[in-house]
Structure 1
Amino acid sequence: MVGLLWLLLWVGDALARLWQPGPKSWLHMQGAHILSEQPNQPRQPWPLRPIIARRLNVAALSAPYAAHEDTTPRSVATDAYGFRKTSAGPFAVTLCGDSFFINDLIADSLARHLGQPVGNASIDGRGTLAMARLLDAPAPAFRNSRVVVWLRIEAGINTKEFVEWMAQRRSELHPPANPLKRAYGAWRGSALWPANLDGYLTETAPVKAPLQRLASEISWHLGGSRDTTVLLGRQQLPAHVAPMQFLNDEQGLARTPMPEADLVAIADGIARVDKELRQKGTQLVFAAAPDKSTIYRERLPRTVAYRPGFTARLYAALRQRGVRTVDLETRIRQQALAEPTKALYYTTDTHWNPHGQALAARILADSLHTLTQ
């Protein structure tokens, strides 16, 4: 039975490679061809789903959360490399980040503010990979950008996630000389490697949502309790102020501060990227996207103490190393306090909404004008 299933997977994988145009998305799941979306998609709907709410079992959400849920469908278009198309390259400015920037609202807004073409190289959940690919295997439209804005790395970043992951992901972009290692890499990159089966299910695949819901229900009933990674915010808030949900690993909820050694290692790693980009004639700008607990600390439960994250310390260390930074947190926080009824982040998701993205684009434009003239 296992052998027959394996054979069916092999045949299915072979047929899928013939059907998929351009770079084979199912063949190249690793290295240079880890794709931010899918290649050669003229217009792929991307339904925004509440990640945090899904962990809590969406059916159990209270009315205030449901009233503020955003289900607006987005659309993305990708090139043969899997990068989203924002406008015709080459791009003067490239955005490099993770899921905070996977749609193109910030890139398009920034392009209008600057009057320059802006490309989006962000990859969902893989900010370090996005930068590794820009350094070692950029798509043609991104090769001559004058400015690269590194918008975020990953949530819960530490030395291992940055220093080790960055080195590992850069090494993945270069196929090994040993033919056995190349064959092994190709195998791990195909659907014959069980962990890659999800690659066959794009966000628009009809069976993906039911399978994810089934997995959530199984986890819910077997676990017997809600996901502990999610924290419900204050419920008793003024009228028209939305209650929010948070992730327990956000900066504002950190139980212990980041060790100085880890902070130094991360700053040194970013400084090395800055030096390498400068050698290519590109200016690096680092601008960490603040998480929701940092911006909406008053909406945390009364029993939870807010603790400042490591961003301010990281910025100071980067400035000492000559790395240019942009402070998004201060102005976004000011806006959140000035208009408490106008949310800048999704209430049931960890990411900022279109209002927050538009504000981030204006802040970045103010800092980048002199670099792009």
Structure 2
Amino acid sequence: MKTEVAINGADLGGSLPVENVQELASNCSKEIPHRYIRPEIILDEISTDDSLQVPVIDMEKLATSHSKYQNEMAKLHQACNEWGFFQLVNHGASMVIEKMKVVTEDFFKLPLQQKMACAQEPNRIEGYGQAFVVSEDQKLDWGDMLFLNSLPVSQRNMRFWPNSPTSFRSTLDEYSLQIHKVCMSLFKLIELNLGLEPGKLCSIYQDGTQGIRMNYYPPCRQSDKVIGLSPHSDGTGLTLLVQVNDVQGLQIKKSNTWLPIKPIPGAIIVNIGDLLEIMSNGEYRSIEHRAVVDFQIERLSIAAFHIAHLTAKIGPLPELVKENGAQYKALGFEEYVRLMLSSKLDGKSQLDHMRTNN
């Protein structure tokens, strides 16, 4: 099927080859190559209010009908509506998360030559390398990634799945399925909060696409002049992020100020993607976020992106189009993915292409 071939990355937009940042950082003198210098970040305002943090949602409370826990659903709605981000605790996936952290760290510790066995191919997003590099003069992010299509299982290309460490493939398989289970539980709860009939959202995402991106952000002597991951919103329905080590770096844009996220040990950080903003007709909003790097210590994270199934029509759900009309256009799945993969990261610019003139 054409769409099934396309989702693996061919002809939908890949990333131009660039230097390996982990290797560059290990050999780097005091001078950072000019393509990584981001002078604009000097002017960015960063919040110093430690009391201002994204909501924390308890999955165990959401899973019960006990009256004293009913306000947890209201907290979830507020988190999706006002923040676009929350930390999820008591999610039931702690054991496999810890195993996934270990194999991710072990992969990035491998010599470059071994990691390059999983290198991206031209015009494909999958594999080891960089993402969203679309021009030769584009400013670059201070980080490397391994991106793999993990679901549906039929779309896995094992050519890019590392053989080392030896437990990587089995661990990622288990992690992929468990994180998808958590994600589907969240979609069921979101359906209720949006007043949708049971299964409306779940039917769109149950057999959808899951991609897992493992990130490595090397330390940088001039960390105040580089960015680990450019400001952007995710083109997904939901993204579930796990912090691998204790180094902070994720920041979200709240009221035109960058707010550092302090990960709770064992929590999954969840964020609303553009796709859910579109389908909810703006009731829930994606939020711009970025990754910064540390002066001395590397930072690692694992993001699981969840997108609709291959035959889905991307647009506002009819039940949520009220008197103001549809706030976003409708696109076919392949056209939406092409738009998502063929542009550099630039705030919420990709979502702007989907807005109507209403």
Do these two structures clear the TM 0.5 threshold for a shared fold by scoring above it?
no
Instruction: Name the structure, 1 or 2, with higher relative contact order (CA <8 Å, separation 6+).
Output: 2
In the superposition, the TM-score normalised over structure 2's length comes to: 0.29
Larger proportion of strand: 2
Indicate the structure (1 or 2) with the bigger Cα radius of gyration.
1
**Which has the larger share of helix?**
1
After TM superposition, the score normalised by the length of structure 1 is 0.28
